[in-house]
């Protein structure tokens, strides 16, 4: 398994191009199942999760051609309604094929995704939404089997604003008979991006980005060309890198508007964020990082996917801070590794009490999930000495060529195979 080795203590300076958003590309590539013909997607990030979803779509009968960040998908040959365990276990977002398969083939059999390091990750709200649209749900031998003579619109209230739950039911509803209203829907930019792609395909959707989304079913959709929006979490990760290293980074092809809550908190640490133009920001790290309290919330609140990265920043800030994780039940796994690097953090329930230290020290550490891996890279960049990060396959799921991007702005970072 690959490792990443970092010599800490370098100030990062230069320009980084942000890649397309993993969490927008995944549902949008899956939405190709909703129409016959060739959909062309650009700015698709080259990630393990994208490879996984392309494998699954091919398994279902889609024809896929990829070149650089362009992906063409023709779902005209959609013939298989089963998403097998060996494909789904690699990436839980595979559950997103449920909605489109039921909408197109009137049936689906998808391996239950199971939990992951950060929490149980249930899909009860996905299934309840499909049931309300008239689907029959059976759980058998680790699979969820869904069938429906035809889907009919309904008024669906999500107990919590689930991101992929909102995406799944939105994709099921666009070809349903009548009107579907999603209440307490997720409001992330990735939801708006999916709705924009579906509307381009001919769907009738109003309210994406708010907590009430109204979908009027249509008879059929047509293929489109679509550009994937920038990855706000990758952008946030590099912004923290600038803040940590007293650096000066200019991020291009990014969307600062998608990071308002995070940027607000980052500026309170003393970090300067200059809006160069609509898709370009310059981030300058402070000489002394101020402690700031954070609570993760559904969008537009502070994103849970930035919690681990912000925890590193607070671990070398001046003073005390409290970071509360309100979305997932086990998203402080990275803390034990940070403490091995000298961080002073105490976990109590869903909060981390962080007492800033003057320095972290490099150490061999273990990545446990995607964003925890990113946090360990950030810690290595600012730590004194050498940090070796094991199990970097977690990282490759969601960050495109991250060590190359960090090298370009002055980091001493390399990947070691084996």
Task: Read off the DSSP letter of residue 349.
Answer: T
Residues that bind ligand EPZ (CB under 6 A): 22-23, 26, 93, 119, 121-126, 160, 162-165, 186, 304-305, 327-328, 370-371, 398
| CB 228, min distance to ligand EPZ, A | 13
Distance CA 29, CA 42 (A): 11
Q: Which is nearer to ligand EPZ, 154 or 305 (CB)?
A: 305
Q: How many helices (H) and strands (E) does the chain have?
A: 14, 24
C-alpha to C-alpha distances, 116 to 93, 119, 346, 369, 370, nearest whole angstrom: 12, 6, 23, 8, 11
Q: At what angle do helices 163-173 and 124-132 cross, to 10 degrees?
A: 20
Q: Any idea which residue has 């889609």 for tokens? A: 62
Query: Six-digit token pair at 183?
Result: 């209440």
CA-based nearest residue to 293, from 359, 375, 357, 354: 354
- C-beta of residue 223 within 8 angstroms of C-beta of residue 36: yes
Contact 308, 374 (CB under 8 A): yes
> Using an 8 Å Cβ cutoff, are 47 and 399 in contact?
yes
CB nearer to ligand EPZ: give 25 or 201. Answer: 25
Q: How far is the CB of 91 from ligand EPZ (least distance, A)?
A: 8
Q: Which is nearer to ligand EPZ, 104 or 126 (CB)?
A: 126
373 phi and psi, to 5 degrees? -65, -40
Q: Report whether 302 contacts 326 (CB < 8 A).
A: no
Cβ proximity to ligand EPZ, 303 vs 362, nearer residue? 303
Q: Which residues are catalytic?
A: 116
Distance CA 237, CA 221 (A): 36
**Which residue, 110 or 383, is less far from ligand EPZ as judged by CB?**
110
Measured from the CB atom, the residue of 27 and 223 that comes closer to ligand EPZ is: 27
Pairing of strands 344-348, 107-111: unpaired
CB of 365 to ligand EPZ, least distance (A): 18
Structure tokens at 335: 């803390």
Least Cα distance to 28 among 76, 106, 97 occurs for 97
Nearer to ligand EPZ, 236 or 356 (CB): 236
Q: How far is the CB of 398 from ligand EPZ (least distance, A)?
A: 5
Residues 6+ apart with CB under 8 A from 360: 8, 315, 316, 338, 341, 342, 343, 379, 382, 383, 384
- The residue to which tokens 């199971």 are assigned: 114
On whether the CB atoms of residues 175 and 8 are closer than 8 A, the answer is no
CB 102 within 8 A of CB 151: yes
When the beta carbons of 193 and 249 are compared against ligand EPZ, the nearer one is 193
Q: H helices of 142-251, where?
A: 163-173, 189-200, 232-244
């Amino acid at each position: 398994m690959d490792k990443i080795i970092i010599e800490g203590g370098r100030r990062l300076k230069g320009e980084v191009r942000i890649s397309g958003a993993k969490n927008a590309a995944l549902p949008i590539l899956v939405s190709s199942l909703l129409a016959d013909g060739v959909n062309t997607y650009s700015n698709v990030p080259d990630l393990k999760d994208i490879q996984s979803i392309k494998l699954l779509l091919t398994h279902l009968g889609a024809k896929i051609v990829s070149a650089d960040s362009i992906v063409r998908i023709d779902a005209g040959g959609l013939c298989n309604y089963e998403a097998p365990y060996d494909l789904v276990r690699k990436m839980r977002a595979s559950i997103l094929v449920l909605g489109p398969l039921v909408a197109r083939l009137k049936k689906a059999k998808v391996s239950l995704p199971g939990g992951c390091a950060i929490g149980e990750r249930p899909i009860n709200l996905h299934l309840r939404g499909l049931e309300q649209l008239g689907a029959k749900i059976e759980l058998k031998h680790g699979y969820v089997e869904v069938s429906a003579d035809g889907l009919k619109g309904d008024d669906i209230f999500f107990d919590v604003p689930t991101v992929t739950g909102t995406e799944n039911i939105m994709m099921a509803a666009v070809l349903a008979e009548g009107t579907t209203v999603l209440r307490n829907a997720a409001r992330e930019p990735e939801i708006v991006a999916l709705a924009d792609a579906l509307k381009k395909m001919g769907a009738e959707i109003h309210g994406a980005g708010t907590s009430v989304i109204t979908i009027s079913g249509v008879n059929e959709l047509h293929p489109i060309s679509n550009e994937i929006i920038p990855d706000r979490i990758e952008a946030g990760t590099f912004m923290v890198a600038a803040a940590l290293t007293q650096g000066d980074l200019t991020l291009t092809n990014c969307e600062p508007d998608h990071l308002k809550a995070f940027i607000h908190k980052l500026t309170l640490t003393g970090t300067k964020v200059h809006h160069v133009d609509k898709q370009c920001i310059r981030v300058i790290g402070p000489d002394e990082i101020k402690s700031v309290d954070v609570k993760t919330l559904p969008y537009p609140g502070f994103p849970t996917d930035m919690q681990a990265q912000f925890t590193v920043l607070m671990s070398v800030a001046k003073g005390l801070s409290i970071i509360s994780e309100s979305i997932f039940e086990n998203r402080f796994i990275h803390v034990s590794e940070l403490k091995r690097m000298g961080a002073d953090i105490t976990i109590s329930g869903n909060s981390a009490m962080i007492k800033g230290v003057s320095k972290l020290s490099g150490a061999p550490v273990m990545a446990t999930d995607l964003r925890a891996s990113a946090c360990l890279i950030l810690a290595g960049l600012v730590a004194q000495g050498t940090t070796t990060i094991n199990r970097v396959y977690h990282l490759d799921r969601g960050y495109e060529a991250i060590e190359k991007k960090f090298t370009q702005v002055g980091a001493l970072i390399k990947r070691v195979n084996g």
